[in-house]
Amino acid sequence: MSTVHAHTVLIVAAILFVLGLAGVLTRKNIIFMLISIEIMLNAAGLAFVAAGSRWQQADGQIMYLFILAMAAAEVSVALALVLQIQHQHKTLDVEQLTALKD
């Protein structure tokens, strides 16, 4: 198994992050925005793992576990909110969900 250079992995992570970000900014549906956020989180986790293997430290993998736990919690809360939004407003389009403006 040939070794992969850390900066190659970091480039992949950056591409993933930008993809996620573009999803958040362009998608209308909240569920797709949530998925995009998940992608961004995983991009960050990938960067941690790559850094951990580069310096032969366990910290990177530990941080990934934290991110995993946090993402799980976030998704459970977010999906509950999404359900409520669908229930009350009969839509998941962020363009129409502007009740929190001034």
**Residue ranges binding another protein (CB under 8 A):** 21, 24-25, 33, 94-95, 97-102
CB of 1 to another protein, least distance (A): 35
CB of 101 to another protein, least distance (A): 3
Length in residues, the chain: 102
CB of 4 to another protein, least distance (A): 26
Give the nearer residue to another protein in terms of CB position, either 24 or 71.
Answer: 24
Contact at 8 Å (CB) between 70 and 44? no
Coil, helix or strand at residue 93: strand
Give the nearer residue to another protein in terms of CB position, either 4 or 70.
Answer: 70
